[in-house]
Structure formats: C-alpha cells, structure tokens
Chains A and B, each alone.
Chain A
Amino acid sequence: MPTSRSTRIVLLIYGLLTIFLLYLPLVSVGFASVSRARYLSFPITRYSTKWYAEALESGTVRDLLLTSVTVAAIVTVLSVIIAFFGALAFARYNWRYRSTFQKLILLPIFFPQTVLGLALLMWFNALGVIPSWKTAVVAHLVWIAPIATLIVAIRAYSFDPALEEAARDMGANTPTILREITLPLLMPGLVSAGLFAFLLSWGNFPLSLFTTGADSTLPEWLYAKMVSGYSPLVPTLGIMSVVASFVLILTAFAVMWLIKAMRDSKAAQT
C-alpha cells in the first residue's frame, strides 16, 4: 500500500517532534556547559570553554571518573562472565529447576531500583560490610547481570545444539568446543551485553546512592551538586559523560566490524 502524501507529512512532523523533545534537554545542557557564568541562566551572554579546562584539571573530577569507571568496568567483566554461563543454563540446557531459574533471574530487573538499593544497604549493614564503591559493584551486579544474561540468552536460543554435538562427534573435547564453537557464536551477544552492562552501571544513580557509602560516582555527584551548591562543572561533566558513552558505543561498533572483517579475510586466506 503506498503511503499517501498527507500521511508522510504527519509522520515526518511526528518524527521531528520526537527527536526534538528527546534531544533538546541535552542540547541545553551542552549550552550551559559552555557558558562563562557561574550560575545557570538563559540566555547565555558569554561563551567559554574554561569549565572544561577546569574539569580536566580538578582532582575531584578525576576521583569521580575513576570511581565510576572502576565500578562500571568490574560490573561489565563480571556481568559478561555471569551472563555467558547463565545464558547457557537459561537457554541451552534442560535441567530440573530451569523454569524456576528463568523466572527468578528476571525478578531483580522489575524491582524499583530505590527499593533494591535500600534492601541491599540494609543487608550490607546486617552483614557488617561498610558500604563503599565495592558494595556498589555488588548492587549493580544484582540488577545488571540479569539484563546481560537475557541479552546473551536471546543469542543462545538461536543456536543449534547440534553444532556442539557435531564438534564433539568429530573429536573435540569440552574446552575446545567452548573455544571454537560456543564462544565465537555467542560473541555478538557477549559484546552487546558488555556494552549494556557498562552503560547501565555508568549512568546508574539509585543503586549507587544507597550503596557507595563515602565514595561517590559521577551521577551521584551531579545530583548532589544540583541539590546543594550548584557548580558550573555540573553541565560540563554531564556532557563529558554523555560523550564518553557515545564514544564507547562507537568503539564497540568499530570492534565488532573489525572482528568480522578479520574473520572474513582469515577465511579468504586459509
């Protein structure tokens, strides 16, 4: 059915409006970050990049970034490992409590994060663990590992179990099958799970707020500064954080593309 002219115009307006509403706030933060003024005010009279220079030199900012990156990196690595085995248990193997496992593992995703954060904080207290960025890693994992598992499980579902059986039939042992068959086939799922894990941890506020104790991640600091004592570094760091996420996604795409290109050229050579 051909789309009529009027429908196309309506769709175009709808699309533009959506994009505009989605990205306008981000653009205004961008403007705020290059304003010379110490306080948030529009319209901006004088532009400057001095807050970026200051942010790059500031020790506080460095600590914040370090904490956020450390937490996100550890969460990513652990989530991907948990997701790999979890997804195989979720999607590939038949075992007695599989359907219970499938339901239970999804549950944390649906808890309100504030409640989950509070519950974890109380639990840490009960155990006598002093909250720090390390407890935040645990808290993030509770919420992020299930999501990563789901992402890998989708990939694992579309994977013919006969492939592993065939490899075994031709003489491969379990480690070889993992290395030659299972891992390469799940790789796209593992990369996107890792990407999601990093970004969800990097941007997470509610779980971090409850569980980092004296340490502070970037989102927490942004919030704290907005509530008490605005700093012109807030929009600056906000934009830097967005840019970092964006660069990460681009890098991931580039890596995927490179792996595929290498595999193709290797196949062509050998």
Chain B
Amino acid sequence: MASDALLRLQGVVKQFGHFTALHGVDLDIHEGEFFTIVGPSGSGKSTMIRLLVGMDELTHGAIWLRDKRIDETPANERPTCMVFQSLALFPHMSVGQNIEFPLKLRNVPAADRKSRALELLDLLRLPQSYYSKRISQCSGGEKQRVALARALAFDPEILFFDEPLSALDYRLRKTLEKELKDLHHRTGKTFVYITHSLEEAMVMSDRIAIMKDGRFEQIAVADEIYSRPVSRFVAEFMGEVNLFEVSTEDGSTLSGAGLTGNAPSGLAAGSKGLLMVRPEYIRFVADGGTADYTVKGRLLEEYALGSRIQYEIETTEGQTLTVEKLREDRTTSALGGEVTLGFDEANTHLIEGD
C-alpha cells in the first residue's frame, strides 16, 4: 500500500446479526494528526473504535497501519493503545505499577520502568510522590492523567481515546481538553478521539469526522464543518443554526421561509435547498437598513448567555430562529414586538437538495 496515511480503512463493514453498525466506511488518518470522530449515541463510533483497537472483528473490509494489514491482528499484538471511557485503571495496583504495566509486559528492567514512569508523571504534571499512591486515592482528573501516562508508557503508534472525559464535571473537562491538545503538540503522536460532544471535538481536533447511522457524513477541519456542513444533520449537530427551506423557479427569485432577497448563486433554476446561517451572523435591521436577505418576525424570548445574548424570534411563516448578539449589540426592541432580521449572502451556506 503506497500511501501517506498512517491508518487507512477500506470498505469497513461491521454487522451484529442482522444489524449493520458500519456500512462500508473508508477513512485515512495521517501521522501526527489529532483526529476526532463525533456522533450521537448509536451512530457506530464505539463500534468503530473497538474495531480500530482490535477488540472486535470486522465483517468485511480492511484496516491498514502504514503498509501492514492489521485487521486480523489481535489487540495484544497491535502497536496501538486506547484510553478507555472508564479509564480501566487496575485498582489492585499503585499508580506507578499501573503506568509500568505495559513496560513490565515487555520485560523492561525495574529500574528503567521506574525512571520512565517518573518521567511520565512529570510530563502529565503529577507530583512524583504519586508513584506509590493507590488508584483509589486519586481524584477524577488525576486518574485521567494516570491513564494517559500508562497509555504513553506503551508508546503506541496511535493513541485512541474512547470518551475519557465524559464522566467529569464541566470545568475539569475544559481544563483537560486543553491539556490533551497541549500533550498532543508536545508528544507529536497521532491521537484518534471519539466523543459525542462537538465542543470537545472543536477545541482539540485537527480534523473531525461526523458519524451518523454507521456512515461518515463529513470529514473536514473544524471550521469547514462549522461553516460549510454538507447536510442538515451536520449543520444541526454542529451547534445552534438557522436553516431556511428555499427554492427558486427561475434562478433569481427566492421563495420559501418568508425570506426576501435574491436566490443564492449556487441554487439552480427549479431546484431547492437549505440556506444556512449561524445565529451570530443575523442582525436586527432598523427601518431603512439593508441586508442581502431579510425576514420579519416577532421577538419571543431573550436569554443571557454571559458575554452574549440569545434571542428567539418567530417568523411570519411560523419558524423559530435563533440570533446571538454580543452584549453591547443587544437590541432595543421589546419582547413580543415586531422585528426585521437581516443577513448577508457571504455569511450563508447553501446545502443543496436537502
């Protein structure tokens, strides 16, 4: 296999009885990349990681690591390692013994094991005194770091993560997300991360794959997925969004969703599509103001989100829109009052035929 991909999936199918969890998935992951697979529960992402690590067998297809086919290789012979959702730290061993476990399996001498374990404690900013602590004496965040240290001690070609942050509280999760990204920079390893949290994916990843019903909907960098989603599913999955179902007969007059404006350039005559605009790109248009697209509605609700204010507006067509403004740009319109909203074509994205 001549390719620059570190890990390559070709037509991977996984069936459980009559249920197909993965429908012929192709994927290339590059060396040194932080790659995140995001999807709701049941999308097949857990099945995917179990296949990648070697804990399940695939039904059809192939997995290549560089130029070696590994889908027949059992988990204990693959040069990859995973941080489990439950972390899977061995409760009957100390922190040090946990970190040294993969080294002990390779018969590394005790002194070398210990010095490596202490190095890793430093790398993960845990005090060296933790070496002899029991796992039960560690806090949630410390356990995360121990699990990471153990995985790094293995020195894998690819480090897999199965939602390891999902059990932590918000603040700690935010801290660890940044630490993980930082660790990725410092170690230069390839990270493949699975999560249902888009926020987590956005903060950390180089590239994101969105998964739905056993298929990839879109694989791209975070910005691309955010601003140019390929489908309604991806658009809605990637946070708050306004989608207008629009169509045009002649290629220039726009109809649908109560929008006034010209048909977007990508919309051919006689076709329909979804015009997407994120809440932060919609503005309140004063009398006499202009915008590429305008829509009238009634201000329903106002929520304070800290630095921003979120508004809910019901259009004349009955659609509910979400608008977000910075605190200093808040509207003077009263709740229940009529408002005109506007946005420009440059800030929209057209999802065709959806």
Partner-B contacts on A (CB < 8 A): 160, 162-163, 165-173, 176, 180-181, 184-185, 263, 267-268, 270
Complex contacts, A270 vs chain B, CB 8 Å:
94, 96-97, 100, 110, 114, 132
Complex contacts, B92 vs chain A, CB 8 Å:
184-185, 263
Q: Does A171 contact B93, Cβ atoms closer than 8 Å?
A: no
CB distance from A188 to the nearest CB of B (A): 10
* In the bound complex, CA of A185 to CA of B154 (Å): 23
Report which of A160, A173, A263, A267 forms a contact with B76, defined as CB distance below 8 A.
A173
Complex contacts, B85 vs chain A, CB 8 Å:
162
Complex contacts, A171 vs chain B, CB 8 Å:
76-77, 102, 105-106, 154
Within 8 A of A (CB), among B74-122: 74-78, 80-82, 84-86, 88, 90-94, 96-97, 100-102, 105-106, 110, 114
Q: Does B105 contact A268, Cβ atoms closer than 8 Å?
A: no
Q: Does B97 contact A267, Cβ atoms closer than 8 Å?
A: yes
Complex contacts, A169 vs chain B, CB 8 Å:
53-55, 75-76, 78, 80-82
CB distance from B99 to the nearest CB of A (A): 11
In the complex, whether B228 has a CB less than 8 A from a CB of chain A is no
Q: Does B75 contact A165, Cβ atoms closer than 8 Å?
A: yes
Total residue contacts A-B, CB cutoff 8 A? 69
Complex contacts, B23 vs chain A, CB 8 Å:
none
CB distance from A34 to the nearest CB of B (A): 47
Complex contacts, B132 vs chain A, CB 8 Å:
267-268, 270
Known A168-B76, A172-B76; contact A267-B134, beta-carbon cutoff 8 A: yes
* In the bound complex, CA of A165 to CA of B56 (Å): 11
* In the bound complex, CA of A181 to CA of B84 (Å): 16
For chain B, the count of residues having a C-beta within 8 Å of the partner chain is 33
CB distance from B84 to the nearest CB of A (A): 5
Complex contacts, B88 vs chain A, CB 8 Å:
160, 162-163, 165-166
Q: Which residue of A lies closest to B134 (CB)?
A: A267
Q: Does B101 contact A170, Cβ atoms closer than 8 Å?
A: yes
CB distance from A171 to the nearest CB of B (A): 5
Q: Which residue of B lies closest to A164 (CB)?
A: B88
Q: Which residue of B lies closest to A173 (CB)?
A: B76
Q: Does A176 contact B96, Cβ atoms closer than 8 Å?
A: no
Q: Does B75 contact A181, Cβ atoms closer than 8 Å?
A: no
Partner-A contacts on B (CB < 8 A): 53-55, 74-78, 80-82, 84-86, 88, 90-94, 96-97, 100-102, 105-106, 110, 114, 132, 134, 150, 154
Complex contacts, A162 vs chain B, CB 8 Å:
84-86, 88
Report which of B75, B96, B106 forms a contact with A267, defined as CB distance below 8 A.
B96
Complex contacts, A268 vs chain B, CB 8 Å:
94, 132
Q: Does B105 contact A170, Cβ atoms closer than 8 Å?
A: yes
* In the bound complex, CA of A82 to CA of B96 (Å): 34
* In the bound complex, CA of A186 to CA of B150 (Å): 23
* In the bound complex, CA of A165 to CA of B75 (Å): 9
* In the bound complex, CA of A166 to CA of B132 (Å): 21
Q: List 17 A-B contacts (CB under 8 A).
A: A160-B86, A162-B86, A167-B90, A169-B54, A169-B55, A169-B80, A169-B82, A170-B76, A170-B81, A171-B76, A171-B105, A171-B154, A173-B76, A176-B105, A267-B134, A270-B114, A270-B132
Q: Which residue of A lies closest to B101 (CB)?
A: A170
Q: Most chain-B CB neighbours within 10 Å: which of A160, A263, A270? A: A270
Known A160-B88, A270-B114; contact A165-B105, beta-carbon cutoff 8 A: no
* In the bound complex, CA of A163 to CA of B110 (Å): 23
* In the bound complex, CA of A114 to CA of B213 (Å): 59
Q: Which residue of A lies closest to B162 (CB)?
A: A162
CB distance from B279 to the nearest CB of A (A): 39
* Given A165-B88, A184-B92, 15 further pairs, Cβ under 8 A: A162-B84, A162-B88, A165-B84, A168-B75, A169-B54, A169-B75, A169-B76, A170-B81, A170-B101, A170-B105, A171-B106, A180-B101, A270-B94, A270-B96, A270-B100
* In the bound complex, CA of A245 to CA of B334 (Å): 83
Complex contacts, B106 vs chain A, CB 8 Å:
171
CB distance from B148 to the nearest CB of A (A): 13
CB distance from A266 to the nearest CB of B (A): 9
Complex contacts, A160 vs chain B, CB 8 Å:
86, 88
Q: Which residue of B lies closest to A174 (CB)?
A: B76
Complex contacts, B54 vs chain A, CB 8 Å:
169
Q: Most chain-B CB neighbours within 10 Å: which of A168, A170, A180, A267? A: A170
* In the bound complex, CA of A37 to CA of B110 (Å): 67
Q: Does A172 contact B86, Cβ atoms closer than 8 Å?
A: no
Complex contacts, B81 vs chain A, CB 8 Å:
169-170
Shortest Cβ-Cβ A-B pairs, 5 listed: A166-B88, A267-B94, A162-B88, A170-B102, A171-B105
Q: Does A170 contact B134, Cβ atoms closer than 8 Å?
A: no
* In the bound complex, CA of A270 to CA of B85 (Å): 28
CB distance from B151 to the nearest CB of A (A): 8
Report which of A165, A168, A176, A181 forms a contact with B90, defined as CB distance below 8 A.
A181
* In the bound complex, CA of A176 to CA of B81 (Å): 17
CB distance from B134 to the nearest CB of A (A): 7
Q: Does A185 contact B105, Cβ atoms closer than 8 Å?
A: no
Q: Does A172 contact B84, Cβ atoms closer than 8 Å?
A: no
Complex contacts, B94 vs chain A, CB 8 Å:
267-268, 270
CB distance from A167 to the nearest CB of B (A): 7
Q: Which residue of B lies closest to A187 (CB)?
A: B92
* In the bound complex, CA of A170 to CA of B91 (Å): 16
